[in-house]
Amino acid sequence: MATLRLPTADRTIEVYTTRGEPIPLVRRAASDFSRVAFAAAHVVADPLADNDPWLTPAIDWERTLAFRHRLWDLGLGVAEAMDTAQRGMGLGWPEAKELIRRSLAEAKARPDALIASGAGTDHLQPSPGLTLDDVITAYEEQVGTVEGMGGRIILMASRALAATAKGPEDYLKVYDRILSQVREPVVIHWLGEMFDPALEGYWGSADHWKAMDTCLKAIEAHSDKVDGIKVSLLSKEKEISMRARLPAGVRMYTGDDFNYAELIAGDKDGFSDALLGIFDAIAPAASAGLAALGNGKTDTFFELLEPTVPLSRHIFKAPTRFYKTGVVFLAYLNGLQDHFRMIGGQESARSLVHLAELFRLADKARVLANPDDAAARMSRLLAAQGIA
C-alpha cells in the first residue's frame, strides 16, 4: 500500500491509501479469446524534442512500438492510427502513415499479431469548394497506401465528407465507391459527435436512428467487403439494435467505452466484439477478462471488467474528445512512459482534480501495475503543479 495526498472536487486535499491488488500480466494469444478484441493504441510523445507541441508532433518511436508489443503479448489486437492515437487531433496523415508503416513491420515479425490501421481523409481540409469526388480521391489515397503496405483497413469517418455531403445519398455514393475497391473486408468506424464534434450529422442525419438506416444500407450493399462496424455512440441500446440488423457474417465491434462489459458478454440474441480505446488503458484486465469469457467463466469476466467501467466512464466523460489525456496519464502512472507529455500539448486538457479521481478509480479497478510507483509518479506530478 502507498499513501499520498490527492485533491478533491470540493477543493480540499485528502490523504488516500491505495488498496487495489494489481491484475497480473499473463502472456496470451488472440486465440485464447472467444471475441475479436482490438485496443486502439495511443502514441508516446518525445518529451525531449525541440518542437512546437501545438504545431509539430514529436513521437518517441521506441516507446510507441514497445507499447504495441505489450498489447500483442496480452493477446489484444492493435487498432493503429485511430483517434486514440490523436489522429486528426495532433497526429496528421504524414505521421500516421509512418506510424502504420512501423507498426506493420513490427507485426510481421510475430505471427500472432493482430493489427488493422485507420484510413480516412484527414489530409483533406474541409472547405466550401470541396466535392464528393475530392473526398473519394482522399479516401482512395489513404486506403491505397495502407493496402500497399500489406495492411488491413479500418475505414475512418471523414470530417470532409460530413462537411460536404448534402444528405444520405452522398454518403452512400462515397462508401459504395470505396468499398467496391478494397482488397480485403474492412472495419467501418462510425465515430459519434461526442468524440468529434465535426462529425455531427454523419450518415446524413443528426438522428442516430435515421443515420443507422443509411449506414446499414451501405453495409448491406457490400457485405462481402465489410468485416464489421465499430460503433462509437456511447449508447448500448443503439448498438444492440444495430447489431441485430447486421448482415450475416458482419461483426459488431463495440466502441462503447461506457457499456463494453455487458455488450461483449452479450445475451441470447448475440454479442459484440471489441475495438476500444479503453483497452489501451486497462489491457491486463481486458486480457484476463476475455480469457475467462473464452473459458466459459462469465462471472469471472464481470468480476474483472465491471470495476473498470467507472474508470472508463470517468476517462471518457464529456468533453469526450479529451479522453486521450486520461489514457496517456494511466500509461504514465504504470511506467509505460517516463513522462506525462502528449502531442499537441493535450496533457493540459484535463484538470488535476480529474486526474486525481482517475488515480482512485484505477486503484479500485486493479489496473495500477505497481501502486507504490504509481503513487510516487502522481505525487511528483502534483508537486510540479504546486500541490504537495
DSSP string, 264-329: HH-BTTB--EEEESHHHHTHHHHHHHHHHHHTT-HHHHHHHHTTHHHHHHHHT-SSGGGHHHHHHH
Q: What is the pLDDT of residues 67-109, one digit of tens each?
A: 999 999 999 999 999 999 999 999 999 999 999 999 999 999 9
Q: What is the pLDDT of residues 31-48, one digit of tens each?
A: 999 999 999 999 999 999
**What cell was used for 5?**
495526498
Give the containing element (helix H, strand E) for 190.
strand 186-191
pLDDT of residue 372: 97
Pure H helices in the chain: 61-73, 93-108, 132-148, 159-164, 168-179, 208-221, 236-245, 260-265, 278-281, 283-294, 298-305, 308-315, 323-333, 352-364, 371-384
Q: Residues 242-257: what's their mean pLDDT?
A: 98
Rg (CA), the chain: 20
Q: What is the pLDDT of residues 330-384, one digit of tens each?
A: 999 999 999 999 999 999 999 999 999 999 999 999 999 999 999 999 999 999 9
Q: What is the pLDDT of residues 276-313, one digit of tens each?
A: 999 999 999 999 999 999 999 999 999 999 999 999 99
pLDDT of residue 345: 94
Structural domains present in the chain:
27-325 (3.20.20.70)
Name the pTM for this structure. 0.96
pLDDT of residue 126: 78
In this predicted structure, the answer to whether residue 128 has a pLDDT above a threshold of 90 is no
